[in-house]
Structures are given as structure tokens and as C-alpha cells.
């Protein structure tokens, strides 16, 4: 039983080494710590004209660039006059 376990461990290590050697150029190393992305860019903004809350969602009527649009997303606290991004 010990021989089988050792064999499996060695096979796993060998497979990882082979996989690491075949990564494409620029690929992060296997097991690398994920880095948080930079701050999200939020280029759009608008003024809330109307709010409709339903279970799990909020619908917002927003004035943006002289247009009125409806947007929806997970429940959020918003009221008329708020600026949203």
C-alpha cells in the first residue's frame, strides 16, 4: 500500500512539472496567488428619477446625457435625486 501511495505522489509531482513546462508565454505560474484587479472604471453616471424595489432586485430610472434609461441590479438603497455610477 505504501508503494502505491508513493507512486501516486510521484506521478502527481511529475504531471505538475510537465504541465508547468508547457504553459504559454506570459502565463502566471501554477499556484500563484490571485491578485486583486485595479479599481474598476465607472465612466457612466446618472441621476435617479424613479426607484422600483422588488424582491432581490432594484430597478432605477436614470437621467443620463439628456436621455432616460432604466437599469436593474441586485437590491440597492437608492432614492430620487441620488447620483449613481
pLDDT tens, 29-82?
777 666 666 767 778 899 999 999 999 999 999 999 899 999 999 999 999 999
Determine the Cα–Cα distance for residues 33 and 36; give it in Å rounded to an integer: 10
pTM summary value:
0.52
Determine the Cα–Cα distance for residues 16 and 80; give it in Å rounded to an integer: 56
Q: Write the DSSP symbol of residue 72.
A: E
Amino acid at each position: 500500500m505504501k508503494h502505491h501511495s508513493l507512486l501516486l505522489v510521484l506521478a502527481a509531482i511529475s504531471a505538475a512539472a510537465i504541465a508547468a513546462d508547457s504553459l504559454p508565454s506570459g502565463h502566471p505560474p501554477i499556484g500563484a496567488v490571485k491578485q486583486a484587479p485595479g479599481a474598476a472604471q465607472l465612466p457612466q453616471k446618472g441621476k435617479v428619477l424613479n426607484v422600483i424595489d422588488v424582491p432581490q432586485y432594484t430597478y432605477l430610472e436614470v437621467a443620463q446625457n439628456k436621455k432616460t434609461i432604466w437599469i436593474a441590479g441586485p437590491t440597492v438603497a437608492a432614492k430620487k435625486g441620488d447620483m449613481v455610477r
